[in-house]
Structure 1
Amino acid sequence: MFILKYLENSDAACTSEVELFATEAEAHSKMETQYEATVRLLGGNFLSEEPADADEASRWSTIGKEYACVQDGIDSYRWEIIEDDRFIPRCEN
C-alpha cells in the first residue's frame, strides 16, 4: 500500500490529508495532479528548486518520485508518498 500525505500551511488553511493507493504509480499520479493544480492556482512562475538564500518572499516548487513541494512566500504545500509494506489485502472469497 502507498500512502500519499498532503500538508498545507497557508493563509487559506493549516491542514493535512492522507489518501491510500494500491500502487506507487497511482499515488504519484494523484500527487502530480494536485501539485500542478496548486502551481497553476498560485499563478505559476516559481523557481525550480529552493534557493540557497531563500527568504520569506521566495517562491519555488519541485516534484520528485516520492515528494513534491510548493513554497509561496511563507505559505507551504507539501506531498509525500510512503510505502507501507505491512498492509495485507483482504481476501475476497
Structure 2
Amino acid sequence: MLFAFLCNDKPDSLQLRLDTRTAHLDYLNGLGDQLKFAGPFLGDDTKPNGSLVIVDSVDLEAAKQIAANDPYAKAGLFASVDIRPWNWAIKNPDNK
C-alpha cells in the first residue's frame, strides 16, 4: 500500500534542512524499492519549505515508523507531518 508523507518545515528552518540533507537523502535511498518518489515543496522564494515522500508500506503503522526515522524528522525540521494512504492512478510505472 502506498502512503504519502506531506511534511511542512518549521519557520526559519532552512539551515537545519541544509545541514541534515545528506543524511536525509542517504536514508531515503536506503529504503530501496520501498521509496517510490520524493522531493521538496518550494516556497514563493523557490527555497525548500517541506517535503513530499511516497513510500510503499505494509500498513499505516509501518509508514509512520519510516517517517519517524527520517533524519529530517529526528532533527525536528517538520512543524507537521500528515501521512495518508495514496493511490497512484495516473502514470504509475507499475501499472503497465
Tell me the TM-score normalised to structure 2 length: 0.36
Larger Rg belongs to: 1
Report the structure, 1 or 2, having the larger helix content.
2
Tell me the TM-score normalised to structure 1 length: 0.37
